[in-house]
């Protein structure tokens, strides 16, 4: 045996010795679950002991078909695409712009801004979800401020109507005007709106005029609540805003770190040669960061399609499923009501396929239009 | 000599270990609610009284419990003793027969101590007694703050007209007439609409739907949904309740934000004194101002007075346990958990009124849970809880849950929701 061969064999043994544990762990923790997921998505497994229990069979692509025939699948997919869009065309450009501003020191205290923008990333996702949920809730701070303002205005309107005639001698038209303030549903509260409301108002003695105004405000003021957030298409807006708020800082850090690798002399030379900030960004920074951008886009796409916790904590997919995304649709299929593991796995694999397609599109786009980093 | 002593000790330890039976238990327990301390004590007492049985406890609550149970079922490693729902929530246990038939295991003599409804196998999804229901649960109960009505010159409502009449006076004082915290979707169906449907269309309608003789788009069902519409339209239930989580309801009700809250009978425990903190959402003295009532009479109802009810949750033993010391230990544990003493403690925490008939009412029971037996006696006519109807796919119940939310949000009307429910039913049939 020659020395070279012996070294090769020793190197081979060392290679396997060092890589085998990782390879085994990969097979057990990654490859096996993926394989099982594919098999389950094609099966009629209906729960219970998976191996050695009731027999189950491969039934083909039935569950994939079921998924794509379900209108809720398309609703979830549409919501996922909104998230992909806000991630790729919201977080990335914003992250880049913020990184550029900080890198070029266009603002004072760049370190401070970098920290502020990154903070949402280090807060627990569940905390963020609950925080924004309370902000958008009907008793949250936004609704409270709006309602405080409208209560004052309502008070004044009531006083203007009632005060001029005195509450014991209100005319029909004045009662009608009070009812009108309460909006279209106000008459529903009374069997005979005008006599009933008059009776109610006149039951207050003269010395309780203030109480009357407060009570009428409680009764008739249509409190503002963010009910528009319950409407399809609009319900996703606060979710998208929170996603933008939370993750932009992460891309800022990614871009900033890569910008700091660019030779500053190149930028200074360009500036000496008369290039303005826009030209520096377009002709030096952007081409140098095209690879980072593609990687960030891949991160954003795969993260968007697999996101779960934030929306689960924020809306739970509600109201009545309109903010459901694929991962929540999958979770509900697997764990709520009658557990449907094959459908859940089919949804998971469709998500993976869509994710891969989007990544391929991104790579093609980069190879065609991207710049060179080196 | 030393060696002999060590050898003897080793033998003693070995025999001691051999004599002790280990039981894996998956317990369903909420640590932040009144009754937790008593529940922990129940388990500790069993362990103290039975040194020959070692309990390996795993404690979970809400969805994580169900997911873990499902995962154990899939892996074929179910714990020896676990907690089970009678319907779709624990479907895999019933359908795959993963729990022992307690009728056979415990025997008719033992089960004669329980109510007929609890031991009727037809009340469980698999058609056999996979779990022994600790309670028979009424899912839609009006918790009424009587004082809120009387203080405002109103009588405690018994009809829809009474509720409507209360709207202006209570709303003027900043009090909602009725609260239905429905952010989670299911309370609207389970704690409200099941009884509305029971009153308006009756159980037969659902049987007819399952038999293909009726549709959810039929007028009677649409009319039942219109009743829900009216509760919101007339201002009895606030549309904003759809943004209130199920867990937030009791706190808001106890603060006086609403004169009535719709909830299940299991919630009396949320209001009584927590032994750990000594605090109660409603103090025992104030609990006298509250009543538990059936839903008010509805206009056009065909089945007056019915209330939605279903067999409750209970303990099960894994079907895989073979005859032997382990199974004996599991049976011993089950019998302990269903003993009159333990059931009396659970009753005292307001968790439920036991289905075991020889349980004496616990001493010092607070006023609110002590109202339950009378409530059951006065409301013996029951109807389906929709998400517990055997044979009705859970996706249909989900469509109803969503539909009630949509009606509450004024996003859809009764006709549209009926169409959605029928579509879900047709899809499930395929």
Residues above pLDDT 90, as percent of chain B: 67
- Indicate whether A60 pLDDT > 70: yes
If one compares A218 and B142, the residue with the highest pLDDT of the two is: B142
Rg of chain A over Cα atoms, rounded to whole angstroms, equals 31
Residues 183-202 of A with CB under 8 A from B: 185, 188-191, 196-197, 200
Examine the domain organization and report whether B211 and B196 are in the same domain: yes
Instruction: Select from B95, B168, B427 the Cβ nearest to the Cβ of A190.
Output: B168
Tally of domains within chain B: 2
Q: How far is A86 from chain B, CA to nearest CA, in Å?
A: 26
Q: Is residue B204 part of a domain?
A: yes
Angle between helices B325-337 and B102-111 in degrees, nearest 10? 50
pLDDT at site B5: 66
Q: List chain A residues with CB under 8 Å of B398.
A: 336-337
Report CB contact under 8 Å: A319, B184: no
What average pLDDT does range B19-31 have in this prediction?
90
pLDDT digits (tens, 9 = 90+) for B98-117: 999 999 999 999 999 998 88
Bridge partners of B25?
A: B57, B81
Nearest CA in chain B to A312: B184
- Indicate whether A372 pLDDT > 60: no
Examine the domain organization and report whether B145 and B84 are in the same domain: no
**What is the C-alpha to C-alpha distance for residues B99 and B119, in angstroms, rounded to an integer?**
15
What average pLDDT does range B209-233 have in this prediction?
96
Domain with CATH 1.10.3720.10 in chain A: 70-137+229-369
- Residue B155, sorted as left (phi over 0), alpha (psi -120 to 50) or beta, turns out to be beta
Are the C-beta atoms of B178 and B163 separated by less than 8 Å? yes
Average pLDDT in chain A:
87
- Indicate whether A108 pLDDT > 80: yes
pLDDT at site A324: 92
Report CB contact under 8 Å: A231, B394: no
pLDDT at site B429: 81
Residue A319 touches chain B, beta carbons under 8 Å:
yes
- Indicate whether A369 pLDDT > 70: no
**What is the C-alpha to C-alpha distance for residues A201 and B105, in angstroms, rounded to an integer?**
68
How sure is the predictor about A107, in pLDDT bands with cuts at 50, 70 and 90? confident
Residue B361 touches chain A, beta carbons under 8 Å:
no
pLDDT at site A332: 86
Residue B335 touches chain A, beta carbons under 8 Å:
no
Are the C-beta atoms of A238 and A136 separated by less than 8 Å? yes
Examine the domain organization and report whether B33 and B173 are in the same domain: no
**What is the C-alpha to C-alpha distance for residues A322 and A237, in angstroms, rounded to an integer?**
12
Residue A157 touches chain B, beta carbons under 8 Å:
no
Q: Which residues in A240-279 are b (16+ Cβ under 10 Å) and which e?
A: bebbbebbbbbbbbbbbebbeeeeeeebeeeeeeebeeee
Examine the domain organization and report whether B329 and B270 are in the same domain: no
What average pLDDT does range B406-416 have in this prediction?
93
pLDDT at site A327: 93
pLDDT at site A33: 92
pLDDT at site B242: 87
Distances (CA, A) of B377 to B6, B139, B224, B371, B381: 65, 15, 26, 10, 10
Q: Is residue B34 part of a domain?
A: yes
Report CB contact under 8 Å: A337, B171: no
- Residue A225, sorted as left (phi over 0), alpha (psi -120 to 50) or beta, turns out to be beta
- Indicate whether A134 pLDDT > 90: no
Residues 219-258 of B with CB under 8 A from A: 233-235, 239-240, 242-243
Q: Which residue has the tokens 């905390």?
A: A127
What average pLDDT does range B303-332 have in this prediction?
95
Residue B155 touches chain A, beta carbons under 8 Å:
no
Nearest CA in chain B to A223: B240
Report CB contact under 8 Å: A52, B74: no
How sure is the predictor about B10, in pLDDT bands with cuts at 50, 70 and 90? low
pLDDT digits (tens, 9 = 90+) for B27-84: 998 877 777 888 999 999 999 999 999 999 999 987 789 889 988 988 889 999 999 9
Residue B184 touches chain A, beta carbons under 8 Å:
yes
**What is the C-alpha to C-alpha distance for residues B93 and A342, in angstroms, rounded to an integer?**
18
Polymer length in residues for chain B: 430
Q: How far is B210 from chain A, CA to nearest CA, in Å?
A: 17
Are the C-beta atoms of A188 and A210 separated by less than 8 Å? no
Are the C-beta atoms of B355 and B114 separated by less than 8 Å? yes
Are the C-beta atoms of A349 and A41 separated by less than 8 Å? yes
In 3-state terms, what secondary structure has residue A205? coil
Examine the domain organization and report whether B64 and B86 are in the same domain: yes
Examine the domain organization and report whether B52 and B85 are in the same domain: yes
pLDDT digits (tens, 9 = 90+) for A289-341: 888 888 888 888 888 888 888 998 888 887 778 899 999 999 988 877 667 89
Best interface-test mutation with B: which of A338, A342, A343, A345 has the largest number of B CBs within 10 A? A338
pLDDT at site B396: 92
Examine the domain organization and report whether B296 and B340 are in the same domain: no
How sure is the predictor about B237, in pLDDT bands with cuts at 50, 70 and 90? very high
Whether the model pTM is above 0.90: no
Q: Is residue B362 part of a domain?
A: no
- Indicate whether B300 pLDDT > 80: yes
* DSSP 8-state class, residue A336: S
Are the C-beta atoms of B82 and B114 separated by less than 8 Å? no
Most confidently predicted of A14-23, A224-233, B326-335: B326-335
Which of A304-313, B76-85, B319-328, B338-347 has the least mean pLDDT?
A304-313
Examine the domain organization and report whether B212 and B178 are in the same domain: yes
Residue ranges making up the domain that contains B419: 138-309+380-429
Report CB contact under 8 Å: B394, A197: no
pLDDT digits (tens, 9 = 90+) for A143-202: 889 888 888 888 888 888 887 777 777 788 888 888 888 888 788 888 888 888 888 888
pLDDT at site B283: 94
How sure is the predictor about B2, in pLDDT bands with cuts at 50, 70 and 90? low
Q: What is the ipTM of this complex?
A: 0.72
CATH assignment of the domain containing B25: 3.40.190.10
Q: How far is A261 from chain B, CA to nearest CA, in Å?
A: 46
Residue A62 touches chain B, beta carbons under 8 Å:
no
pLDDT at site A222: 80
**What is the C-alpha to C-alpha distance for residues B184 and B202, in angstroms, rounded to an integer?**
25
Examine the domain organization and report whether B345 and B283 are in the same domain: no
Which of A218-232, A260-274, B158-172 has the least mean pLDDT?
A218-232
3-state SS record for chain B: CHHHHHHHHHHHHHHHHHHCEEEEEEEECCCCCCCHHHHHHHHHHHHHHCCCEEEEEEEECCHHHHHHHHHHHHHCCCCCEEEECCCHHHHHHHHCCCECCHHHHHHHHHHCCECHHHHCHHHCCCCCCCCEECCEEECCEEEEEHHHHHCCCCCCCCEHHHHHHHHHHHHHCCCEEEECCCCCCHHHHHHHHHHHHHHHCHHHHHHHHHCCCCCCCCHHHHHHHHHHHHHHHCCCECHHHHHCCHHHHHHHHHCCCEEEEEECHHHHHHCCCCCCCCCCCCCCCHHHHEEEECCCECCCCCCCCCEEEEECCEEEEECCCCCCHHHHHHHHHHHHHCCHHHHHHHHHCCCCCCCECCCCCCCCCCCCHHHHHHHHHHCCCEECCHHHCCCCCHHHHHHHHHHHHHHHCCCCCHHHHHHHHHHHHHHHHC
pLDDT digits (tens, 9 = 90+) for A357-368: 988 888 887 787
Reading the block at residue B173, the tokens are 């004082």
Examine the domain organization and report whether B179 and B60 are in the same domain: no
Q: List chain A residues with CB under 8 Å of B225.
A: none
Instruction: Determine how many CB atoms are found less than 10 A away from the CB of residue A150.
Output: 15
pLDDT at site B325: 95
pLDDT digits (tens, 9 = 90+) for B177-190: 999 999 888 899 99
Residue B363 touches chain A, beta carbons under 8 Å:
no
Residue A134 touches chain B, beta carbons under 8 Å:
no
Report CB contact under 8 Å: B164, A137: no
- Indicate whether B127 pLDDT > 70: yes
How sure is the predictor about B342, in pLDDT bands with cuts at 50, 70 and 90? very high
pLDDT at site B40: 93
pLDDT at site B362: 84
3-state SS record for A114-159: HHHHHHHHHCCHHHHHHHHHHHHCCCCHHHHHHHHHHHHHHHHHHH
pLDDT at site B286: 95
In CATH, the number for domain A70-137+229-369 is 1.10.3720.10
Instruction: Select from B172, B240, B409 the Cβ nearest to the Cβ of A218.
Output: B172
Examine the domain organization and report whether B255 and B106 are in the same domain: no
pLDDT at site B6: 66
Q: List chain B residues with CB under 8 Å of A50.
A: 74-76
Residue A319 preceded by cis peptide, ω within 30:
yes
What average pLDDT does range B317-345 have in this prediction?
95
Q: Identify each DSSP E strand in chain A by its residue range.
A: none
pLDDT at site A127: 92
Q: Which residue has the tokens 């009216």?
A: B230
Residue B138 has φ and ψ, to the nearest 5°, of -90, 120
Q: Is residue B361 part of a domain?
A: no
Q: Is residue B365 part of a domain?
A: no
Residue A228 touches chain B, beta carbons under 8 Å:
no
Report CB contact under 8 Å: A48, B92: yes
> What's the burial of B49, exposed, middle or buried (CB within 10 Å: 0-12/13-18/19+)?
exposed
How sure is the predictor about B4, in pLDDT bands with cuts at 50, 70 and 90? low
Q: Which residue has the tokens 């500036």?
A: A271
Q: Is residue B257 part of a domain?
A: yes
Examine the domain organization and report whether B338 and B293 are in the same domain: no
- Give every CB contact of residue A250 below 8 A, 6+ residues apart in sequence: A91, A95, A118, A121
pLDDT at site B133: 95
Instruction: Select from B96, B394, B398 the Cβ nearest to the Cβ of A47.
Output: B96
Most confidently predicted of A263-272, B217-226, B352-361, B387-396: B217-226
Q: List chain B residues with CB under 8 Å of A47.
A: 70, 73-74, 91-92, 95-96
Report CB contact under 8 Å: B96, A49: yes
Residue B428 touches chain A, beta carbons under 8 Å:
no
pLDDT at site B221: 97
Residues 378-407 of B with CB under 8 A from A: 387, 393-395, 397-398, 401-403, 405-406
Most confidently predicted of A231-235, A336-340, B146-150, B273-277: B146-150
Q: How far is A56 from chain B, CA to nearest CA, in Å?
A: 12
């Amino acid at each position: 045996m020659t020395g070279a061969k012996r070294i090769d064999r020793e190197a081979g043994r060392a290679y396997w010795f060092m890589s085998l544990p990782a390879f085994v762990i990969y097979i057990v923790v990654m490859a096996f679950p993926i394989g099982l997921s594919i098999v389950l998505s094609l099966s009629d497994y209906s729960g219970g002991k998976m191996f050695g229990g009731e027999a189950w069979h491969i039934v083909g692509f039935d569950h994939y078909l079921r998924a794509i025939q379900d209108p809720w699948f398309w609703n979830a997919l549409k919501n996922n695409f909104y998230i992909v869009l806000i991630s790729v065309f919201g977080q990335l450009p914003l992250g880049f712009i913020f990184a550029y501003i900080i890198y070029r020191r266009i603002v004072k205290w760049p370190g401070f801004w970098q920290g502020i923008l990154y903070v949402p990333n280090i807060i627990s996702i569940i905390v963020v979800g609950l925080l924004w949920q309370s902000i958008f809730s009907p008793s949250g701070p936004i609704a409270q401020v709006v309602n405080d303002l409208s209560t004052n205005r309502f008070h004044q309107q009531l006083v203007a109507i009632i005060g001029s005639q005195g509450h014991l001698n209100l005319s029909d038209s004045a009662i009608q005007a009070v009812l009108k303030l309460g909006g279209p549903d106000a008459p529903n509260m009374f069997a005979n709106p005008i006599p009933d409301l008059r009776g109610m108002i006149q039951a207050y003695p003269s010395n309780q005029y203030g109480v009357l105004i407060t009570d009428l405000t409680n009764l008739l003021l249509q409190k503002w609540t963010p009910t528009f957030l319950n409407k399809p298409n609009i319900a996703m807006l606060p979710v998208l805003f929170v996603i933008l708020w939370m993750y932009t800082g992460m891309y800022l850090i990614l871009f900033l770190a890569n910008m700091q690798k660019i030779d500053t002399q190149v930028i200074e030379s360009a500036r000496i040669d008369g290039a303005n900030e826009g030209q520096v960004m377009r002709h030096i920074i952007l081409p140098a960061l095209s690879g980072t951008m593609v990687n960030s886009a891949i991160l954003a796409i795969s993260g968007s399609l697999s996101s779960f916790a934030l929306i689960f904590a924020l809306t739970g997919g509600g109201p009545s499923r309109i903010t459901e995304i694929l991962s929540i649709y999958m979770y509900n299929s697997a764990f709520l009501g009658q557990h449907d593991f094959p459908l859940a796995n089919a949804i998971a694999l469709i998500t993976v396929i869509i994710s891969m397609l989007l990544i391929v599109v991104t790579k093609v786009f980069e190879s065609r239009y991207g710049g060179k980093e080196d | 000599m030393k060696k002999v002593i060590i050898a003897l000790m080793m033998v003693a330890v070995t025999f001691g270990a051999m004599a002790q039976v280990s039981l894996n238990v998956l317990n369903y327990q909420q640590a932040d609610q009144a009754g937790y301390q008593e529940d922990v004590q129940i388990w500790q007492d069993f362990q103290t009284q039975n040194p020959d049985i070692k309990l390996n406890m795993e404690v979970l609550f809400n969805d994580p419990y169900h997911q873990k149970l499902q995962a154990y079922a899939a892996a074929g490693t179910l714990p020896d003793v676990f907690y089970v729902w009678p319907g779709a929530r624990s479907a895999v246990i019933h359908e795959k027969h993963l729990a022992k038939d307690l009728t056979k295991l415990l025997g008719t003599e033992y089960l004669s101590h329980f109510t007929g409804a609890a031991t009727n196998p037809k009340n469980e999804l698999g058609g056999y007694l996979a779990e022994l229901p600790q309670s028979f649960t009424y899912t839609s109960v009006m918790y009424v703050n009587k004082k809120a009505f009387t203080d405002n010159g109103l009588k405690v409502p018994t009809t829809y007209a009474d509720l409507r009449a209360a709207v202006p006076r209570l709303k003027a004082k900043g009090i909602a007439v009725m609260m239905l915290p429905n952010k989670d979707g299911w309370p609207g169906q389970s704690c409200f609409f099941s009884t509305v449907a029971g009153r308006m269309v009756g159980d037969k309608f659902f049987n007819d739907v399952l038999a293909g003789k009726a549709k959810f788009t039929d007028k009677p069902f649409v009319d039942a949904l219109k009743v829900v519409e009216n509760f919101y339209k007339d201002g009895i239930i606030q549309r904003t309740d759809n943004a209130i989580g199920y867990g937030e309801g009791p706190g808001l009700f106890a603060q006086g934000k609403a004169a009535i809250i719709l909830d299940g009978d299991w919630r009396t425990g949320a209001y009584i004194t927590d032994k750990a903190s000594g605090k109660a959402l409603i103090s025992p003295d104030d609990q006298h101002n509250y009543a538990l009532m059936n839903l008010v009479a509805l206009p056009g109802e065909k089945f007056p007075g019915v209330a939605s009810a279903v067999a409750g949750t209970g303990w099960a033993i894994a079907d895989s346990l073979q005859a032997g010391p382990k199974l004996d230990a599991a049976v011993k544990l089950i019998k302990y958990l269903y003993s009159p003493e333990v059931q009396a403690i659970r009753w005292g925490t307001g968790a439920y009124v036991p289905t075991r008939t020889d349980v004496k009412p616990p001493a010092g029971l607070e006023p609110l849970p002590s109202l339950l037996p009378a409530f059951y006696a006065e409301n013996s006519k029951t109807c389906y809880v929709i998400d517990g109807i055997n044979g009705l796919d859970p996706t249909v119940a989900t469509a109803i849950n969503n539909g009630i939310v949509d009606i509450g949000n004024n996003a859809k009307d009764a006709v549209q929701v009926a169409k959605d429910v029928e579509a879900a039913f047709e899809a499930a049939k395929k």
